[in-house]
Structure 1
Amino acid sequence: MDTRSLQLLEFHKVLGSLADLAVSIPGRLACAALSPLSDPDMLFRRQRLLAECLELRRDAHFRLTEFPDLAGLFPALGNESVPLDLDALFALQAVLTQADEARRVLAPAAPSPGSPGGVRPLLREMAESAPAPHKTMAALARCLSPDGGLRDESSPELFSARAEIRAVHRTCTRQVRDYVQGQGLASYLQDDFITISSDRYVLPLKSNFKGRIPGIIHDYSQTGETCYFEPFFLVEVNNRLQELKKEEREAEARVLAFLSGLCRQEQDGLAAFSRLLVDLDVLLACAALAEAMAGTIPDVGPDEPVRLPGARHPLLLLAASDPSRVVPQDIILEPSQRALIISGANAGGKTVCLKTLGLLALMAFSGLAVPAAPGCGLPHWRKVFVFLGDEQSLEDHLSTFTAQIRHLSRAWPQVDQDTLVLLDEFGAGTDPAQGAALAQAVVDGLLEKNAWLAAATHFPALKAYGLSKPGVRAACMLFDPAGKKPLYGLAYDQVGASVALDVAREHGLPEDLLVKAHKYLLMEGADSSSILDRLNVLALRKQEELDELAELQIQEKKKTVAIRERYEKRLAALLDEVRETSREIARSYQEGRLGRKQAQKALAEAGKRLIEENAAVSQPSPGDSAKPSSPDFDGLKPGDLVHLPGWNKSGRVLDKDPKRRMVKVDLGGVCLWVDAREVAEASGREAKKAGGGWSVKSASDQGGQSAVVSAFVLDLRGRRADEAVAELAAFLDDSVLKGRTQLEIVHGKGTGALRREVHDFLRTAPQVASFRLAPADRGGDGMTMVELG
């Protein structure tokens, strides 16, 4: 990616804002080093990781805290003669502890049933790819104490030395107390406790009494009023203390050397854990930035058009005290278009619009979310070249025009179909006619190279070019004709006036100068402002109407969703009600309160009521703009997939009634006769969803063709007798309700006890017309075939 373009688009400022959201120094450095990716697979992976991190932040399962930078530790591990010091080991422990916690959260050993390993697979893979340095973590936990030193238990030698040092302290304390009390020296001491000077126990003696007690003076306080005095009776004890201190230091050195050796053995694991934590810090910072900007992860691919609805400049958004005041832009090109020509007033937002497109592209290719509405997408440009504003250079003796030409000439050989070029006022700074002609030629050349471009211009010729050239789309920045102020909105298929005189008036230029300028404009015959003003008014009115229509569309979608939810709730309640009714009818028959024919009639009425009430409350599917076309009745045949809009379900045709022009449809276990006019053709998506419920068997007819039959299977193997009978009763009720005619009950062979229970129940069931054992080739006495009457 062209570094000059990155600088002009201020991509580094976006990375600076990203770095501020990281919790660690290495994380901030890694954020600042992010760059656009040219490999589509790497970009897709980074986007998926960002999506998983957004879920992680929303779940609030894990938060990183600040951790130290280990950049200087790994080179030190290369020198085996120098052990790591305590500061380095504590820094390492802080990183390893937090990385281990992150690893447990991202790749749990036993995921909960609701969130198996596939919930965040890439984060899990990233965590599992970092080998844990178990030996080093265990050793650091055992040896390092919370107070910043080594634990006594780090080694037997260290434990023994420190135990003796504590014993010496107790001995000194006792001897000094006895000596002071015995000699009556309390008034000679500045404080009533002993202290340590040069690793030796001493007494804080008042200086004017220093000759009263035999001993050695080691030091004086800053005021000179206190001398640190070692009585002769402590000399031997202090000498022993020095020996023990030496033993302690040697034991500590051996522990540090041991820990350093473990670190060298598991250096790969230490580096992997450190990288894991830094990478996670960067990803969580990217997720935090996405939330701060209300960003969306865009679709990026070679076949994606430019589609950035509701795009906002990220730096304006992050700097605004009220983000809602940043006006969004819909930067959109049709699939056949590769160029956008933007015109409009000075200071109307043209350059901001170009920068927004370029900066959002750089963010998208770096794996960041972009401040745009859901559904946004961009082609994967490998190169972005930017030519913005006044590029005059006094040091290089370049005018604005010359600087633009030089930069374009250098970039021209690299431009191809994977390039975005942003041109801001290209051709300015020279004769307007020649500059406009050159700008048109450059746009022509870029289109011939099949490159993508967006240009902001004041040239009338380039404005007309944008309206007339195939593959190019014109747009203008909206301007309030009444208030003479820019609205910063973007309207398509329109051109805008430059309104230089209005802008000059707004910024205080004397009115007499503006009057003269207007006269000169009329004299040259170049005043097209009235026409462009009219076009701007029309564009503004069109945009307002589009905004109103969009708002109405959102409201209608909400209403449709609400209607659909009410319908589904009502349908579910109706199904529950009819099921309960059918069970009550079955119980009444079994208890003798209803006869066989009465029960069958009541069940049939319940099924009829279900169909009628569903037809009364059914609504078209949300999003259906037109009623799907009905298939040709004569062309329908058993096995065809169809859609029933009234039920919002798809199923297979089982049978036809030519006389009544009705078809029998299996909706995943529910068989219905419906009018052929209520049947629609099933789309590919609906075809995949068709079916479900109890399994549908298929048999082969004599001609070898597959024929669909209304046979449904209930497998009772492994059930206790009472469980099997209860499940069979519910299955029969459901089958009658759904219009099934043939059932298969799998009970297995075994001892035959379950088969007898099933047959005893079927003999008394009012829904059953007949039943028999299956043929030998279909299960024999392990399955019973049932005919419903």
Structure 2
Amino acid sequence: MNERSLRVLEYKKIIEKLWDRCTSELGKSLAENLKPIDNLSEILTMQKETSEAQAILIQKGNVPISGIHDLLGYVKRTEIGSYLDPAQLLQVNRTLGVARKMKSYLRAEEGNRQSPIIQGMAEGLYSLREIEDKINLCILSESEISDHASSELKHIRKSINSKNEAIRNKLNSIISSTGNQKYLQDAIITMRQDRYVVPVKQEHRGNVPGLIHDQSSSGATLFIEPMAVVELNNQLKELKLKEKAEIERILREISAMIAEKAIEIRSNQEILKQLDFIFAKGKLSLEMKAVEPALNDEGKIHIKKGRHPLLKANEVVPTTIWLGEEFRILMVTGPNTGGKTVTLKTVGLFCLMAQSGLHVPADFGTKLPVYDQIFADIGDEQSIEQSLSTFSSHMTNIVTILRDVTPNSLVLFDELGAGTDPTEGAALAMAIINHLRAINASAIATTHYSELKQFALANKDIENASVEFDVETLRPTYKLLIGVPGKSNAFEISRKLGLSDRIIDAAKEFISTEDIQFEDLLQNIEANRRATESDREEAQKLKMEQEKLTQQYADKKRQLEEQRDKMVRDAKKEAYKIVKEAKAEAEEIIKNLRETKLELEEKEINRQLEAAKKQLSEKMGALGETVEDLFTQKTSKKPPKNLKAGETVTVLSLNQTGHVISPVDDKGEVLVQVGIMKINIPVTNLERVKKSEETKKTGVGKIVKSKSANLKRELDVRGQNLEEAMLEVDKFIDDCAIAGFSPITIIHGVGTGVLSAGIKQMLKKNKHIKSLRSGEYGEGGAGVTVIELK
């Protein structure tokens, strides 16, 4: 297709709109390289694809096509034995997920293939769920491998955590030692070169034996790895090397799975690229309110209410234009700014879009031909460097057009013959038009020359057209009138603008009588056309009113019939309702008679029940007084002070030993667990049990000892839902509070953040907790919460 025509008709701007609606770089590459073609069968297939995509979008909404990546390079790497990193595997996973979702989304129902092209492409997609599941199991993020990727990795990471804890405990004992604190710059543990170190003052380097790994910028602080943890750090380093090797093995395993399915993945990518591009065409069609044109190879154009796709929809005036049946050349005349150039560009751009498989913004019934070439001489491309004037630049382009034009070409001329002497320009224009007419090419030309209007009137295969102009308001209406030659309106416009009649009459003397008569003829034709148009509109209005009255009569008749039917139905319902109510009333009378018989018997039973209830209430009242006495009759001479959770006390009124759950509240009561019961007891009713007595007399000491022996300092709730995790965390904190463990760690993972946020919200309300924080580097980071208990 002629590159200059693509440029002047602004075809690239349509491609940019299509490019924006693709979701992947793969689809964008197809849009960017889209060019019009002249093969009718291929164009019909491309148009059908766009129509199917448009229909699917209307019926189902947006398609799950986003998330496609170019995997060809990744697949090739796996085939030569290399492995992909986590970020690349996530891209593979997302693309495989899109293929699976699109296959399901576009699956054709049994015997229902409304979109055969797109559904056929979707059936060719492969669902590689095994690879997806493997990646989902093993890869948490672009830089993190899951503990569940393998049992070996999980074991190694547990060993790393254990080793980290051992090192930190050892270093904590060093920095908390009063003898060592004077040598340290700060009582902290830090990392240098992946090894745990402590900051030591320069002047005391000999007092802390160990390996120096770094120093501060001022030189006042040395970061020393104490000899006590060198071996532990070495073991930690070995574990991290094992972890790295295991991660590499896992990545190689997944990459090998991808290599085995290389053919299927390549096929998926090609289909997804095509689907992304096709649905972009469908989206563009919907946004432009476009339709699929009826294509032909006979050079017939019939655009119904076409709207230029680059103009605002609420401002553009639709154009109806036809060509190729009774005439193949159209001469468009009329004043400047009347819309002649927009009409040319609309026709040319519609043909380019249609031959690219795109819908056009027009009404249904629009017909467009398939041309081998579309030539456009629109705009002024004069060049100072090449010494080309306006006329020269136009004529250079026209020479090229006339050299390459064929009977199956469309030629668009804007202001044909302009830029030179009017007489010579008009003669050249008629010669050019006559040449195109002789080879049976299709052409649309705009002009101001009266000679070309007369030339069109004199030849049956050339038709005049004009853009309408309202002389009263001096404004164009942008309506195209085919069959009516345009009038320049120069004299009328000048008179409206205030030019005197004397000057206008003098101007008329300078033009020939034939020209004046021709212009007057055009004016009469225009006046008759307007009158005919007015009569036609009036007739159309009367016809619409008659149709409206007929419709109102039909609606009234239908309403009366519906009202009659409704009255009959309502009468039947009312009768049925009366019968039903009578039947219900009879059944109610029978029921009442039966109940009356049973009433006497029930009265006696109710009397006995009331007596039993009264006797039971009296006994419960007496029992309440007895229990109250139990709690008040004995008090401690020296009530215990500063009771803490976990302490053992004796309940004097019950002569039982219990365990304090929460200390004294505002009412002077303590929550105590006695056996399986939890009760609030006044502190004056309690005595503190000494530790020796506690061990001898109660089982609480054994319980605490047992919990201390069996309880761990961390709890892993990953994989649980929030409700299960909260119950387990609550019990874990209670056990640790009893055992006196602190700090403790809750492992909840990162995930979607729901589990982490829910647990932290619950922990803020727990009365046993003194403080909490997220894990530091080496502790698990954001995937854990470290808690200090009271």
Q: TM-score, normalised by structure 1?
A: 0.63
1:524 counterpart = 2:511 = yes
SS at match of 1:316: coil
**Residue 20 of structure 1: aligned partner:** 20
Alpha-carbon offset, residue 260 of structure 1 = 3.1
**Residue 268 of structure 2: aligned partner:** 273
User: Are the aligned partners of 1:117 and 1:124 in contact in 2 as well (CA < 8 Å)?
Assistant: no
Distance change (3 Å), C-alpha of 1:412 and 1:205: farther
User: Are the aligned partners of 1:90 and 1:148 in contact in 2 as well (CA < 8 Å)?
Assistant: no
**Residue 237 of structure 2: aligned partner:** 242
Distance change (3 Å), C-alpha of 1:61 and 1:289: closer
Match of 1:161 among 135, 156, 171: 156
**1:141-160 correspondence runs (5 A):** 141-146=136-141, 148-160=143-155
Deviation per CA, 1:149-175: give whole Å up to 9, x if none. Answer: 333343455444333323322322333
Alpha-carbon offset, residue 105 of structure 1 = 0.3
Distance 1:536 1:409 in 2: 36
Alpha-carbon offset, residue 379 of structure 1 = 1.3
Distance 2:286 2:542 in 1: 28
**Residue 259 of structure 2: aligned partner:** 264
Tell which deviates more after alignment, 535-544 or 202-211: 202-211
SS at match of 1:381: coil
Distance change (3 Å), C-alpha of 1:173 and 1:291: same
Alpha-carbon offset, residue 563 of structure 1 = 8.5
Distance change (3 Å), C-alpha of 1:117 and 1:342: same
Alpha-carbon offset, residue 433 of structure 1 = 2.4
Distance change (3 Å), C-alpha of 1:31 and 1:504: farther
Report sequence identity in percent: 29
**Which structure carries more helix by proportion?**
2
Alpha-carbon offset, residue 359 of structure 1 = 0.6
Deviation per CA, 1:727-768: give whole Å up to 9, x if none. Answer: xxxxxxxxxxxxxxxxxxxxxxxxxxxxxxxxxxxxxxxxxx
Distance change (3 Å), C-alpha of 1:353 and 1:130: same
**1:57-456 correspondence runs (5 A):** 57-64=57-64, 66-67=66-67, 69-70=69-70, 73=73, 77=77, 80=80, 82-107=82-107, 111=109, 117-134=112-129, 136-146=131-141, 148-182=143-177, 194-203=189-198, 213-220=208-215, 228-303=223-298, 305-317=300-312, 323-333=313-323, 335-456=325-446
Distance change (3 Å), C-alpha of 1:119 and 1:268: same
What letter is aligned with 2:234? N
User: Are the aligned partners of 1:478 and 1:540 in contact in 2 as well (CA < 8 Å)?
Assistant: no
User: Are the aligned partners of 2:294 and 2:368 in contact in 1 as well (CA < 8 Å)?
Assistant: yes
Distance change (3 Å), C-alpha of 1:223 and 1:2: farther
Tell which deviates more after alignment, 190-199 or 149-158: 190-199
**1:701-720 correspondence runs (5 A):** none
Distance 2:463 2:317 in 1: 21
User: Are the aligned partners of 1:136 and 1:266 in contact in 2 as well (CA < 8 Å)?
Assistant: no
User: Are the aligned partners of 1:205 and 1:229 in contact in 2 as well (CA < 8 Å)?
Assistant: yes
Deviation per CA, 1:75-117: give whole Å up to 9, x if none. Answer: 8538725433333222222222122211210126xx3x7xx54
Alpha-carbon offset, residue 330 of structure 1 = 0.9
Deviation per CA, 1:655-677: give whole Å up to 9, x if none. Answer: xxxxxxxxxxxxxxxxxxxxxxx
User: Are the aligned partners of 2:37 and 2:43 in contact in 1 as well (CA < 8 Å)?
Assistant: yes
Distance 1:303 1:570 in 2: 55
User: Are the aligned partners of 2:64 and 2:101 in contact in 1 as well (CA < 8 Å)?
Assistant: no
Distance 1:100 1:87 in 2: 20
Alpha-carbon offset, residue 127 of structure 1 = 1.0
Deviation per CA, 1:674-697: give whole Å up to 9, x if none. Answer: xxxxxxxxxxxxxxxxxxxxxxxx
Question: Which protein has the larger Cα radius of gyration, Structure 1 or Structure 2?
Answer: 2
Distance 2:181 2:548 in 1: 89
Distance change (3 Å), C-alpha of 1:57 and 1:192: farther
What letter is aligned with 1:4? R
Distance 1:230 1:522 in 2: 111
SS at match of 2:479: strand
Alpha-carbon offset, residue 492 of structure 1 = 1.8
Count residues with an aligned counterpart: 568
**Residue 787 of structure 1: aligned partner:** none
SS at match of 1:314: coil
Distance 1:148 1:566 in 2: 73
Q: TM-score, normalised by structure 2?
A: 0.63
RMSD in angstroms over aligned alpha carbons? 4.1
Alpha-carbon offset, residue 299 of structure 1 = 1.3
SS at match of 2:325: coil
Distance 2:541 2:221 in 1: 85
Distance 1:548 1:265 in 2: 75
SS at match of 1:324: coil
Tell which deviates more after alignment, 398-407 or 447-456: 398-407
Distance change (3 Å), C-alpha of 1:161 and 1:467: farther
Deviation per CA, 1:377-418: give whole Å up to 9, x if none. Answer: 211223211111323233333333333333333333543343
Alpha-carbon offset, residue 234 of structure 1 = 1.9
**Residue 706 of structure 2: aligned partner:** none
Alpha-carbon offset, residue 456 of structure 1 = 0.9
Distance change (3 Å), C-alpha of 1:462 and 1:22: same
SS at match of 2:472: coil
What letter is aligned with 2:3? T
Alpha-carbon offset, residue 315 of structure 1 = 0.8
Alpha-carbon offset, residue 53 of structure 1 = 1.7
User: Are the aligned partners of 1:481 and 1:537 in contact in 2 as well (CA < 8 Å)?
Assistant: no
**Residue 476 of structure 2: aligned partner:** 486
Distance change (3 Å), C-alpha of 1:304 and 1:396: closer
1:54 counterpart = 2:70 = no
Unaligned runs of 5+ in 2: 569-790
Distance 2:372 2:561 in 1: 53
Distance change (3 Å), C-alpha of 1:99 and 1:62: farther
Unaligned runs of 5+ in 1: 318-322, 579-789
